[in-house]
Structure 1
Amino acid sequence: MYRHPIRVYYEDTDLAGIVYYANYLKFIERSRSEWVRARGVDQGRLKAETGIVFAVRKVDADYLRPGRFDDLLTATTELRALGGARIDLWQTVLRGEETLFTAAVTLVCLGEDGRAARLPPEIRALLSEG
């Protein structure tokens, strides 16, 4: 499981001082991007060389408890399944051991034409690691 630290800034909160709901999606996006990078995949290079990009197809999110200004949170990313052109992930946002947010996320690989494209074998191997 990949773990990415996040500090809640004033700009992340709403009038009540709790994390605005849409910002959890930003938090897990950062974690996903860093998870991909930690596995040795350069998304900019992947696009330049193959035309392939990752796009979110589906998010099933559950908001369990509020995060608050100045909290130190951890956004996690865990691979659930890897298909031909699909990546299924489980993501959470934690405050210590307390789960604030969970999401099942499905990514698809898209080619330059905007259609689903198979993951290149070398990228599949890197994402499958650890």
Structure 2
Amino acid sequence: MVHEFPVQVYYEDTDMAGIVYHANYLKFIERARSDWVRSLGIDQNAMREHEGVVFVLRRIEADFRAPAQFEDTLSVQTEVRSVGGVRLVLSQTVLRDGEVLFSAEVTLVAMHLDGQPTRLPEQLRRRVH
């Protein structure tokens, strides 16, 4: 299942050349991940408050292919690559009119607020298998 999340490029997202500043792609894919988790019916605030569990970015491998520009309409696609006991690996791609501008493989882990890894929530594992 591929989750799609729309992104509009605003002036504040760009550098002096009018292209999206590289760090903003990480913000775009973060927003898309949050929207994806929400679409699964998972309330991350409740998960943190009631279970003391949060998702933590463990690793990201990014590939910048082409620049996005001011006023572009983009789409972020998020797809599950693998699910383990503690770890979740996602593929995220930023596209403009079907052209891949940026891609990343993102590894997330579930962690207790005390910093210890923990199993991914059962609700998440059920919904992504």
Q: TM-score range by the shorter chain?
A: over 0.9
User: Residue 30 of structure 2 aligns to a residue in which SS?
Assistant: helix
Alpha-carbon distance in structure 1 between the residues aligned to 2:118 and 2:107 = 15
Q: What TM-score results when the alignment is normalised by the length of structure 1? A: 0.96
Identity of aligned residues (%): 52
Question: 2:96 aligns to what?
Answer: 95
Aligned partner of residue 122 in structure 1, secondary structure: helix
Q: Which runs of 4+ in 1 moved over 2 A?
A: none
Question: What RMSD, in angstroms, separates the aligned Cα atoms of the two structures?
Answer: 0.9
Deviation sequence 1:70-106 (CA, Å, 0-9, x none): 0000011101111111110000000011000000000
Alignment map for 1:1-16 (pairs within 5 Å)? 1-16=2-17
What residue identity is the alignment partner of 2:12?
A: E
Aligned length: 128
Structure 1 unaligned regions, length at least 5: none
Q: Secondary structure at the match of 1:47?
A: helix
- TM-score, scaled to structure 2: 0.96
SS at match of 2:50: helix
CA displacement at 1:17 relative to structure 2: 0.3
- Output the amino acid matched with 2:94: V
Distance 1:3 1:53 in 2: 23
